[in-house]
Amino acid sequence: MATKMEQKSSNGPSAARTQTTFAVDPATQAVLEHLKEKFGVTTNTAVIRKALALADIAADAAGDSHSVTIEDTNGEKLKVILTG
C-alpha cells in the first residue's frame, strides 16, 4: 500500500508532462542540494516533486488555521504557519 506522499508524488508512465524552467538564487540552490542529500535523490526535479507532495499534504491538513504541527523523532513539536 502506498503512503499518501507516494500517492501524491506518483507520475506513472502515462502521466502528461509539462516542462518548467526557473532560476534560483544561491541560497535556494543550497537548499535544493541539502534536500537532495536528505531525500536520497540526485535531481532537483525529484526534490521539487517531494517538496510539492509535502506542501500539498500540509495545505490539506492546515485547514482554516493555516498551520500544521510537525513532531520530530524526539517528540519535539514545531508549529508551522502556512502564510502568503
Name the average pLDDT for the chain.
86
C-alpha grid cell for residue 34? Answer: 541539502
| Sequence ranges of the domains in the chain | 25-81
Local confidence band at 17 (pLDDT 50, 70, 90 cut-offs):
confident
**DSSP 8-state code for residue 13:** T
* Strand ranges in the chain using DSSP code E only, listed in sequence order: 67-71, 77-81
Say which residue, 62 or 1, is predicted with more confidence.
Answer: 62
Please give the model's pTM, rounded to 2 decimal places. Answer: 0.70
Q: How far apart are CA 75 and CA 62, in angstroms?
A: 20
